[in-house]
A and B are shown apart, each in its own frame.
Chain A
Amino acid sequence: MGAYIIRRIFGMLLVLLAVSFIVYLIFIVIPGGDPAQRIAGKVATPQNVAAIKHRLGLDQSFIVQWYDLVKSLFTAKLVSYYDGTNVVNQIKQGLPATFSLAIGAGIIWMGFGILVGTISAVTAGRFSDRVITAFALIGISMPVAWLGLILRYFLAGEGGAVSWFPDGGYVAFTSNPAQWFYHLLLPWFTLAVLFIGFYGRVLRSNILDTINEDFVRTAKAKGLSTRRILVKHVLRASLIPIVTLFGLDFASVLGGGAIITESVYNLHGVGWYAWQSIGTQDLPPLMGVTLFGAMFIVVFTLLVDLAYAYLDPRIRLT
């Protein structure tokens, strides 16, 4: 087990390096991606541009540039091309908002996903199943940006039809837990809707498959109650694939992947920071947030595999 984890960590480092390289490559080949050109402005002289290039180290060879960038990121010295702010510090500042959004939404979508999936599987084909299925499909099909804007427009702030909720923004948990919760309710819901629909559908079909398994028949033949069969035998087996989904989705949201939700609700988290940097084509922050996100993905991939081995003893990690 220990050896397995060590081996995986080596692999993870390689993946992160590869990601950073690809990000850099993409950035360089984008037309108009030359930061020096853009910093210098429209009427820049070639000397001006060259000076900026030299200052930013952009006149070095590709590999050296990439190496310097990654090195300064890992030593927390990387700064934005534009305002000179430290990328790592900026990400750190975004963490509370991003984590609050991710954890809350994760709990909501997992909880409701299980509930919705189970109810619709147990009542498969009946009215409640059809209603849930319809809602799930609506939830899956709604673009997050649209849903977020609509909810904010109608339910939040002074201008809304009803002003039940604050109009975006983030209040730190440490300064006022009630306001923290109040401000996050809409973002949580917005982010969770898509996942609830999706998880519900996946779980429903998993349960319907598992119900036909021989071991469920055995459980019935033992004389177990319907409820016990459902919870101990059916749900346990059906949730195993959901764990993978959740691990990766949750990791992506934790890593700042909820860019749209954060932007729509003006939550100054990592996703919002990413959105800002995309607007200015600011390479250092983009590299920072991408690697930050990638780190969560690779770490959670490992956690998912470990969880898998725990949930299904047939799987051996070697």
Chain B
Amino acid sequence: MAERLLEVNDLKVRFATEDGIVRAVDGISFELERGKVLGIVGESGSGKSVTAMTLMGLTRGVNAGFEGEVLYKGTDLLKVSDRAMQGYRGNELGMIFQDPMTSLNPVYRIGEQIVEAIQSHERVDKRTARSRTIELLRQVGIPNPETRVDDFPHQFSGGMRQRAMIAMALSCNPSVLIADEPTTALDVTIQAQIVELVSRLKDDFDSAVIFITHDLGVIADIADEIIVMYAGRVVERGTKRDVFYDPQMPYTWGLLGSIPRLDRPRPERLHTIEGMPPSLINPPEGCKFRPRCPHAFEKCKQEPGLENRVETPGHLDRCWLDVEFKRDHRDETISGGSVEAA
């Protein structure tokens, strides 16, 4: 068995705000092994980004409270001092963000920013760091890295900036790469390139990846395991095949059905998940998805636990519906109802 890098146990994150306590993450657990890609999927406000930022220690602050454990190679990162956390960030866990336009500092050259990352973790001189930077830029597919290293971020296109961000995140050989919506702000053509790049670099650098997205389609290629989050909690968890081919949670169906698909006939209407994600200050009672769920019934007023309800071990969900009923009814949601007449 591959080395276990991360083990998150019942992590809860809450923020004190003027309006009340926001339970941004309300109990998430997972393990991540070297060489694997974990996909975390959900809408804005589902807690997926907060989870990622918490792993990096980026949500620490006077208003934030944490429960549970984030074990990185056995050390609980929630208990590590702020100072010691700096040694993990960038060095053990690297992160890339959604918007490559704003994530790089506009006033420093691309190279300077990567050199800075290297030098903050390793005692190397500028020249060594620079030649390593050029090599990294080459690995992420930047043409003419010898000259582009001295460019400013605004001289790079969106896709190239995201590549530079990836080079920076990998500059100190972290074991875990966290990618928070890395393709959302990019053109589809560039999205495809970035997903492929992440999956290739994961092998080159022998690391593991947490890939966060709101679009299940993006991770169909690369994820090994998928966690679907809703209102701060995990509502479904399983292997990629489990989630795509045997989804148990109506929310997951909704996510699958919302994607305009080129591999299927054009539906009359796209499926939508009606309404909006619930407030995290006063979440609804029972199943959090109940107000938006077309299949909700009496029992949903009690919250279902995250349990294994199907034959495949390890495939967990939070839904009271009968498994057979779900298997019969989910397709109308996923494939978006009737097919447009030709």
CA distance A242 to B332 in the complex (A): 59
CA distance A52 to B172 in the complex (A): 83
B103 touches A313 (CB 8 A): no
Tell me whether A8 is interfacial, beta carbon within 8 Å. Answer: no
| Other-chain residue from A215, A221, A223 in contact with B105 (beta carbon distance below 8 A) | A215
B168 touches A222 (CB 8 A): yes
> Shortest Cβ distance from A210 into chain B, in angstroms?
10
> Shortest Cβ distance from A266 into chain B, in angstroms?
45
> Shortest Cβ distance from B185 into chain A, in angstroms?
11
CA distance A213 to B86 in the complex (A): 19
**Stretch in contact with the other chain, from B87-95, B246-254, B306-314:** B87-95
Residues of B within 8 A of A313 (CB): 106-107, 152, 154
A214-B88 CB under 8 A given contacts A222-B116, A237-B107: no
Tell me whether A7 is interfacial, beta carbon within 8 Å. Answer: no
Residues of B within 8 A of A312 (CB): 106-107
A214 touches B86 (CB 8 A): no
B106 touches A219 (CB 8 A): no
A222 touches B106 (CB 8 A): no
A221 touches B152 (CB 8 A): no
A215 touches B89 (CB 8 A): no
Give the nearest-CB partner of A316 in chain B. Answer: B154
Residues of A within 8 A of B89 (CB): 220-223
Contact with B along A206-227 (1 / 0, CB 8 A): 0000000111011111111110
A221 touches B95 (CB 8 A): yes
A220 touches B154 (CB 8 A): no
A218-B165 CB under 8 A given contacts A223-B90, A223-B120, A237-B105: yes
Tell me whether B148 is interfacial, beta carbon within 8 Å. Answer: no
Q: From residue 135 to 179 of chain B, which have CB atoms closer than 8 A to chain A? A: 152, 154, 165, 168-169, 172
A215 touches B102 (CB 8 A): yes
| Other-chain residue from B56, B94, B103, B106 in contact with A314 (beta carbon distance below 8 A) | B106
Q: From residue 281 to 316 of chain A, which have CB atoms closer than 8 A to chain B? A: 311-314
CA distance A223 to B169 in the complex (A): 10
> Shortest Cβ distance from B20 into chain A, in angstroms?
19
B103 touches A222 (CB 8 A): no
Residues of A within 8 A of B106 (CB): 215, 312-314
Tell me whether A54 is interfacial, beta carbon within 8 Å. Answer: no
A225 touches B165 (CB 8 A): no
A217 touches B58 (CB 8 A): yes
Contact with A along B259-276 (1 / 0, CB 8 A): 000000000000000000
Tell me whether B121 is interfacial, beta carbon within 8 Å. Answer: yes
Give the nearest-CB partner of A125 in chain B. Answer: B62
The interface on chain A, measured as residues whose beta carbon lies within 8 A of the other chain's beta carbons, has a size of 22
CA distance A313 to B153 in the complex (A): 9
A224 touches B116 (CB 8 A): yes
Residues of A within 8 A of B168 (CB): 218, 222
CA distance A220 to B94 in the complex (A): 11
Contact with B along A261-276 (1 / 0, CB 8 A): 0000000000000000
> Shortest Cβ distance from A312 into chain B, in angstroms?
6
Among A218, A226, A236, A313, chain B packs the most CB atoms within 10 A around the CB of A218
The interface on chain B, measured as residues whose beta carbon lies within 8 A of the other chain's beta carbons, has a size of 29
| Other-chain residue from A221, A223, A232 in contact with B87 (beta carbon distance below 8 A) | A223
> Shortest Cβ distance from A118 into chain B, in angstroms?
18
A218 touches B105 (CB 8 A): yes
A223-B117 CB under 8 A given contacts A215-B103, A217-B58, A217-B97: yes
A228 touches B58 (CB 8 A): no
Residues of A within 8 A of B117 (CB): 222-224
A219 touches B105 (CB 8 A): yes
Tell me whether A233 is interfacial, beta carbon within 8 Å. Answer: yes
B86 touches A223 (CB 8 A): yes
CA distance A50 to B270 in the complex (A): 91
CA distance A233 to B116 in the complex (A): 11
Q: From residue 78 to 117 of chain B, which have CB atoms closer than 8 A to chain A? A: 82, 86-91, 94-95, 97, 99, 102-107, 116-117
B107 touches A225 (CB 8 A): no
B116 touches A221 (CB 8 A): no
| Other-chain residue from A214, A223, A225, A232 in contact with B97 (beta carbon distance below 8 A) | A214
Give the nearest-CB partner of B88 in chain A. Answer: A223
Give the nearest-CB partner of A219 in chain B. Answer: B105
A224 touches B154 (CB 8 A): no
B107 touches A228 (CB 8 A): no
CA distance A80 to B154 in the complex (A): 55
> Shortest Cβ distance from B205 into chain A, in angstroms?
16
> Shortest Cβ distance from A226 into chain B, in angstroms?
8
A221-B90 CB under 8 A given contacts A215-B104, A215-B105, A215-B106: yes
CA distance A24 to B103 in the complex (A): 53
> Shortest Cβ distance from A262 into chain B, in angstroms?
38
Contact with B along A221-252 (1 / 0, CB 8 A): 11111101000110011000000000000000
A224 touches B86 (CB 8 A): yes
CA distance A219 to B169 in the complex (A): 11
| Other-chain residue from A215, A219, A223 in contact with B91 (beta carbon distance below 8 A) | A223
A213 touches B58 (CB 8 A): no
B154 touches A314 (CB 8 A): yes
A224 touches B97 (CB 8 A): no
Give the nearest-CB partner of A224 in chain B. Answer: B120
- Can you identify 7 A-B contacts, CB atoms within 8 angstroms? A214-B103, A215-B103, A222-B117, A225-B120, A232-B116, A237-B105, A313-B106
Known: A217-B97, A236-B107, A313-B107. 16 other contacts (CB 8 A): A213-B102, A214-B99, A214-B102, A215-B104, A215-B105, A217-B58, A220-B89, A221-B56, A221-B97, A221-B169, A223-B121, A224-B86, A224-B117, A233-B105, A312-B107, A313-B106
Closest 8 CB pairs of A and B: A223-B90, A223-B89, A214-B102, A215-B105, A222-B117, A222-B90, A221-B95, A313-B152
